[in-house]
A and B are shown apart, each in its own frame.
Chain A
Amino acid sequence: MSRTDDNVCGFTYHMTTPRDLEAAIQFDHASFRLNGRALVQDLVLPVKQGEMLVLLGRSGSGKTTTLKLINRLLLPTSGNVRVNGRQTSEWDPIQLRRSIGYVIQDGGLFPHFTVERNIALVPRIENWPRARIETRVRELLSKVGLSEDLLSRYPNQLSGGQRQRVGVARALAADPPILILDEAFGALDPITRSEMQKEFRELQQRMQKAVVFVTHDLREALLLADRVALMEEGRLIVDLPVAEFSRSENALVRAYMEAFSGLPDSGHSVRSSA
């Protein structure tokens, strides 16, 4: 499969289905059970191209399992998950994963690869020509706000914020139409974290990818999301546009809002302009 910088084959193919009919990611009564316990239960959730969905919930609520259902690290035990109109079970898992950028806490970088090789990972295994990889890596570095001096460094020679930026650059390398992030900024200090959130929001406004962002931080959710999906014990509690979310009368939403209020600058006002 050949790819151009701004287009991924497979994705262009599925562009023939109208966007409003088929979301980039569609959970269709998807459940995942392990040893008789439902980690995700009867999930119905669409994510449209260009939309940033934040999956909010406490630890063990099924957020990460939900993410893994998207890139087929797990297959639903009932129902199905469709990516670009095709069930994940029908995708070649390798092709599927290469068309989905994945960012985890602290970057999940390969400790034995330099920054350059880390970012170039997917283009390399996709056999891009060397010159194109080099151009792409430099382009990505500037996109995530890193200097080219870092290219030959190893992950342990970077700050936490730098590692996280490299992690984002690596996920974007082959320009996947879908991006999934698992507590991506969770290991950062508050100032770096807030910087990264703002930059990521701006980046997404330019990229218009389908993004699923997992977090347990309400403020982060309200800052980043177009839509917030709140999960609890494997179930979807509410799924609302961000402006409506903070006004919701749902008891769990209220509990969240209260848990985060009382702080000097609570999440309420963060996105009030939106």
Chain B
Amino acid sequence: MNFLHFMIANRQQVLDLTLEHITLAGVATVLAAVVGIPLGILITRIPQLSKPVLGSVNIIQTIPSLALFGFLLPAPWIGERAGRLAILALALYGLLPLVRNTYAGIQGVDPAVVEAARAMGLTDRQLLFQVELPLASGVIVAGVRIATVTSIGVATIAAAIGAGGLGEFIFRGLAMVNNDVILAGAVPAALLALVADFALGRLEQRLGTLRLKS
């Protein structure tokens, strides 16, 4: 377990890169949620938009991550800092699970419940916030969970464009042909993903039981 020795010897750098990694993935996921959840809601209200929007976020997902970083490089303001660029690319990847799950979650609410809500005289806003979103919350959090875990994984590649994060160790290790250095990046990144997955999974379960109270 030589990589442990390496990590202990470089603990300050491991800590810095881990924090940087969390920031990259965290900001990207929040950004994806801020755009993706309203977008998912919007396409339940304007059904004609659902196909083009879902299609677009789907296509984004198929672009290889390195290529996506490359595409965004010439963009003004964004391309100036590697961090900005990485966050934008990660956020774009996070869109698909968020848009799709928000859409599916709301569409999946029992139509009888929605109709009852309308018939009782709820306004559109009340219907959304008091009925549809609470009942879709389990599915939406599942989307957040997928986006977060993906984002933590893909963020390792951000080091390739100099955005930092735990990918630094991985790329350095690859260049040095040193497995210990690679592991010093890969293991903490994997642990981060597992912790995020577990925590959001718990939340999803709690919201899921709420949803099942029908």
Contact = CB atoms under 8 A, between A and B. Distances in A.
Interface string A88-114: 000001111110101010101111100
A104 B116 contact: yes
B135 interface: yes
Interface string B114-126: 0111111111001
A122 interface: yes
A109 to B, nearest CB: 8
B121 A110 contact: no
B12 interface: no
Contact of B135 (A94, A112, A122): A112
A71 B119 contact: yes
A102 B122 CA distance: 13
A35 to B, nearest CB: 17
Interface string B171-214: 00000000000000000000000000000000000000011111
Contacts of B131: 110
A166 to B, nearest CB: 12
Contacts of A93: 121
Contacts of B117: 110
Contacts of A94: 121-123
Contact of A111 (B115, B119, B213): B213
A97 B120 contact: yes
A125 B112 CA distance: 20
B113 interface: yes
Contacts of A71: 119
Give chain B's interface secondary structure class.
Answer: helix
Given A104-B119, A110-B116, A125-B121, 10 more contacts: A93-B121, A102-B120, A108-B113, A110-B117, A110-B131, A111-B113, A111-B212, A111-B213, A112-B135, A156-B214
Nearest to B214: A111
Contacts of B134: 112
Contact of B120 (A122, A155, A157): A122
A251 to B, nearest CB: 34
Interface residues of B, number: 21
Contact of A125 (B126, B135, B213): B126
A154 B112 CA distance: 17
A170 B120 contact: yes
Contact of B119 (A95, A102, A109, A125): A102
A156 B121 contact: no
A97 B135 CA distance: 23
A73 interface: yes
A121 interface: yes
A120 to B, nearest CB: 11
Nearest to A95: B121
A159 to B, nearest CB: 14
A176 B210 CA distance: 30
Contacts of B123: 94, 125
Give the 4 A-B residue pairs with the shortest CB-CB distance, closest first: A111-B214, A108-B116, A97-B121, A98-B121
A95 B122 CA distance: 10
Contacts of A122: 120-121
